[in-house]
Amino acid sequence: MANQLSRDAFDRLQSEYDDLTTRGRIEIAQKIEEARALGDLSENGDYHAAKEEQGKMEGRIAQLGRLLEDAEIVDAEGGDTSAVAAGCIVTIRYEGDDEDETESYLLGSIEERRDDVTVMSPGSPMGQALIGSGVGDTVAYEAPGGELRVTIVAIDR
């Protein structure tokens, strides 16, 4: 399954990937070289810290490479809001809650994260139940504590 990303998220991830594979690799190589110059590698904390940082960075590069390679860019701006789809913000109310008790989620990859809204994976049980549904629809999904029902209050792009 393709990773569905907004254009903004794709561009941000591509920029991070480009930065890590160029500037990032050069800087970490310099840190490792400087630490090597300090002497005995078996007891060299700077060297081990730089090698650990390099490993984490290479892991992030690999993760970004996979995300970008399989990315499908979805148009979240100005798109159809008649049905829930990846890239939209869906506002829901749990069955039994008051009218003003709602929660909003951005349906998409964790890489789409924003400060103002929680991200929900389209592959999660609730995400799967919401996909294709419209405002006013009530959907059910299986949660660890049993079946839950939510009503879609709004869909925004």
pLDDT in tens, 56-75: 999 999 999 999 998 888 76
Query: Among 96-105, 106-115, 140-149, which stretch is predicted with the lowest mean pLDDT?
Result: 106-115
Residue range(s) in the chain whose domain bears CATH number 3.10.50.30: 89-156
Average per-residue pLDDT for the chain: 88
Q: Which amino acid is at 41?
A: L
- In sequence order, the 6+-apart residues with CB closer than 8 A to the CB of 76 are 6, 87, 88, 157
Residue 124 DSSP symbol: S
CATH of domain 3-73: 1.10.287.180
What pLDDT, on the 0 to 100 scale, is given for residue 114? 75
Supply angle C-alpha 7, 9, 11, rounded to 5: 65
CA distance 156 to 70: 25
The answer to whether residue 87 scores a pLDDT higher than 90 is no
In Å, what is the CA distance from 132 to each residue of 4, 15, 26, 157?
Answer: 16, 32, 46, 14
CATH class of 89-156: alpha beta
What pLDDT, on the 0 to 100 scale, is given for residue 44? 84
Query: Among 1-5, 29-33, 46-50, 71-75, which stretch is predicted with the lowest mean pLDDT?
Result: 1-5
Q: What percent of the chain has pLDDT over 70?
A: 95
C-beta atoms surrounding 34 within 10 Å: 12
What pLDDT, on the 0 to 100 scale, is given for residue 49? 92
Q: What are the pLDDT digits (tens) for 136-154?
A: 999 999 989 899 999 999 9
Q: Per-residue pLDDT averaged across 131-136, rounded?
A: 92
Residue range(s) in the chain whose domain bears CATH number 1.10.287.180: 3-73
What pLDDT, on the 0 to 100 scale, is given for residue 157? 76
Residue 19 DSSP symbol: H
- Closest of 156, 133, 120, 155 to residue 4, by C-alpha: 120
Q: Per-residue pLDDT averaged across 72-96, rounded?
A: 79
Of how many residues is the chain composed? 157
State which H helix or E strand residue 141 sits in. strand 138-143
